[in-house]
Amino acid sequence: MRFSRTNKTHKTTNLAGGKAYVQTSKTELATTILTSFLKDQFYRSANESIERIDAMISNEKDKKFVAKLAVYARNVYGMRSVSHLIASRIGKQVKGEQWTKTFFDKVVKRPDDAVEIVACYGHNYDFTIPNSMKKGLGDALSRMSSYQLTKYRCENREVKLVDVVNICHPKNTEALKALIKGELTNTGNTWEAELSAAGQEAESDDNLKDLKADAWKRLIEEGKLGYFALLRNLCNIANDAPDAVPAICSQLVNREAIKKSLVLPFRFIQASAAVSQRVEKASDKRLILQSIAKAIDLTLDNVPSFDGDTLVVLDDSGSMTSGEEGKTPADIGALFAAAIAKKNNSDLMRFSDQASYLEYNPDDTLSTITKTIRQRFISGGTNFHSIFECANKKYDRVIILSDMQGWMGGNQPTDTFNAWKKQYSADPKVYSFDLAGYGTLQFPENNVFLLAGFSDKTLDIMKLLEADKNALINEIEKIEL
């Protein structure tokens, strides 16, 4: 596989064996990082993804851009593992640059970020940690609260938080002093500790049920349960503490909490599936599902409005629909497609071997529209030509959500696209929304607007693209180190 990309109109072969276009190096790196959870994909294993990222980082001369990308991925997109990987590589590859200390501070959002970065560096190299990493991680740990340090002590890991503190020597705070002395313990300050205490105090199964119900209600009333923790524990709370269901429904639709949480939109799909399967009381199940549907609408309320007619196209080929239910590229794409189409009253199309238009009710919730799209998944081959063979009118823009692994129909779809443009006197803007980060395009980069990632923040970039084709790269470059 080729990792270096220089000519943005250069042709290549994608991972599916089809003809494609390459991306410029920074764009390829950004789309890869912002779609990477370092897990197995249809066309690439987790180890192969790490090897590819390593190669791109090594080949990218602008290491400061790489560092900014890691900060962007962690703090704007909420991505953890891949930011830890990059931080460890920056620590090894960049020496003597003043900005690295600031980078290691800014790439840490929680104490366990520092733990993972040190562990990753030590695993790949050794535990002779660079001074810039020590100082930057130390500064980050010095600003952490007692609650954060208690919650993320990482006691069950090979590298613990106290180990990192002893390595980095952050400025001592009272909480850090307590951590070093072994006096910073879970004393009911975290929701995990309260539930654990309930289990230890229970004298019978009935007593345990009552104690857990009380613990959940207290956690919710006192605001100790973070939004992501709430989302992950909806079934447990509903079944253990049904009296708390109205309160959790109220918290689910808290706009400020949603935005602050950096919860990726597809997490709501997963939560909805879990609630449908596991919540025991039917009336509670309906209330929670209604609240999740409202939360999805709030999460994606930053969809831009476009002038003119827009066609939104979702790839539902085998490589897009393969994987964990609710978390496949097609599942994620269906949610974004629903949001864009609903906001703009756009035409909606799906394609794999062949393309077809999808009917939907724009008055429905995003949850309902997404479900409608997912029910029509075909899981066939990947034929980009079929989009423009099916399109039957002029559009001002075409937004394609795909892993860009076209292989059917011979060459890239540019000839078919040009024939459609000629037939309908159309000259649309084309958005290429990469949902897998495999690193290739079906249209030359100079002719498309590029998007990548699973965060709702991606839609903020979409607002900027028509005025600035390099909006994604420019937003990353704005980060100060």
DSSP secondary structure of 183-207: ----SS-SHHHHHHHHHHH-SSHHH
Written as six digits, the tokens of 292 are: 């999740």
Asked if residue 3 belongs to a domain, the reply is: no
**pLDDT digits over 99-125, tens only?**
999 999 999 999 999 999 999 999 999
Confidence check: pLDDT of 41 > 60 = no
Kindly state whether residues 143 and 288 are assigned to the same domain: no
Q: Does 63 share its domain with 152? A: yes
* CB 259, CB 328: distance < 8 Å: no
Regarding whether 272 and 150 lie in a shared domain, the answer is: no
Task: Provide the pLDDT confidence category of residue 426 given band limits of 50, 70 and 90.
Answer: very high
Residue 358 has pLDDT above 70, yes or no: yes
d(C-alpha 477, C-alpha 455), whole Å: 19
Range scoring the smallest mean pLDDT among 41-45, 183-187, 342-346, 349-353: 41-45
Residue 288: band (very low, low, confident or very high) from pLDDT cuts 50, 70, 90: very high
Query: What is the pLDDT at residue 201?
Result: 60
| C-alpha distances in Å from residue 275, one per residue of 219, 239, 286 | 20, 10, 9
Residue 32 is predicted with a pLDDT of 76
Q: Would 396 be classed as within a structural domain? A: yes
> Alpha-carbon distance 373 to 367, whole Å?
10
Q: What integer is the mean pLDDT of 331-359?
A: 91
At residue 139 the predicted structure's pLDDT band, cuts being 50, 70 and 90, is: very high
Rounded-to-integer distance, Cα 299 and Cα 265, Å: 7
Q: Which residues span the domain enclosing 196?
A: 191-261+266-299
Give me the mean pLDDT over the 23-36 stretch: 74
The DSSP code for 52 is: H
Q: Do residues 15 and 402 touch, judged by C-beta distance below 8 A?
A: no
The verdict on 287 and 329 lying in the same domain is no
- Return the residue matching tokens 């060459």: 411
- pLDDT higher than 70, residue 247: yes
Q: Which residue has the higher pLDDT, 424 or 439?
A: 424
- Residue 201 amino acid letter: E
Is residue 350 classed as helix, strand or coil in its secondary structure?
A: strand
pLDDT of residue 93: 94
Residue 22 has phi, psi (to 5 degrees) of -85, 165
- The conformation of residue 447, written as its DSSP 8-state character, comes to G
281 and 335 fall within a common domain: no
pLDDT recorded at residue 38:
45
Whether residue 274 is contained in a domain is answered as: yes
- Domain count for the chain: 3
Domain boundary residue among 181, 214, 233?
A: 181
**How far apart (Å, rounded) are the C-alpha atoms in residues 90 and 86?**
6
* In a shared domain, residues 277 and 314: no
Predicted local confidence at residue 186, as pLDDT:
58
Strands 429-434 and 440-441 turn out to be unpaired
The angle at the Cα of 275, spanning 274 to 276, to the nearest 5 degrees, equals 90
17 within domain boundaries? no
Using the predicted structure, report yes or no on whether residue 440 has a pLDDT greater than 80. no
**pLDDT at position 404 over 80:** no
Q: Which of 299, 322, 356 is the last residue of a domain?
A: 299
Q: Are residues 47 and 127 in the same domain?
A: yes
Q: Per-residue confidence at 480, pLDDT binned at 50, 70, 90?
A: very high
> Which residue carries 């790196």 as its tokens?
29
Residue 340 placed within a domain: yes
Among 13, 22, 8, 27, which residue's Cα sits nearest to residue 446?
8
| 20 part of a folded domain | no
Q: In this structure, are 318 and 466 located in the same domain?
A: yes
Three-state DSSP class for residue 11: strand
Whether residue 254 has pLDDT greater than 70:
yes
Q: What is the DSSP letter of 454?
A: S
Q: Write out pLDDT tens, residues 295-331.
A: 999 988 878 888 899 999 998 887 778 777 767 888 8
- b (16+ CB within 10 A) / e for 176-215: beebeeeebeeeebbbebbbeebeeeeeeeeebeebbbbb
Cβ-proximal residues to 250 (8 Å cutoff; 6+ apart), any chain: 291
| pLDDT confidence band for 290 (50 / 70 / 90) | very high
Q: Is residue 312 classed as helix, strand or coil in its secondary structure? A: strand
Phi, psi of 105, deg, nearest 5 = -70, -50
Q: According to the model, what pLDDT value does residue 445 have?
A: 45
Contact 396, 306 (CB under 8 A): yes
8 A C-beta contact, residue 333 and residue 433: yes
C-alpha span between 34 and 16 (Å, rounded) = 21
Residues 129-158: what's their mean pLDDT? 92
Question: Is 232 part of a structural domain of the chain?
Answer: yes
pLDDT in the model for residue 436: 55
CATH of the domain at 372: 3.40.50.410
pTM here?
A: 0.72
Residue 218 has what pLDDT? 84
pLDDT of residue 377: 87
Q: Residue 222's CB: how many other CB atoms inside 10 A?
A: 10
* Mean pLDDT score across all residues of the chain: 82
Give the span between the Cα atoms of 470 and 468, in whole angstroms: 5
Residues 81 and 143 in one domain: yes
Domain match, 359 and 256 both: no
Task: Give the end of a domain, one of 181, 211, 234.
Answer: 181
Say what the pLDDT of residue 429 is.
86
pLDDT score recorded for residue 477: 95
Quickly state the pLDDT bin for 30 (edges 50, 70, 90): confident
Q: How far is CA 10 from CA 20, 24, 143, 441, in A?
A: 9, 10, 47, 10
Is 15 part of a structural domain of the chain?
no
User: What tokens were used for 250?
Assistant: 């109220």
The verdict on 235 and 172 lying in the same domain is no
pLDDT, position 21: 45
pLDDT for 394 = 96
140 lies in the same domain as 70? yes
Of all residues in the chain, the percent with pLDDT exceeding 70 is 81
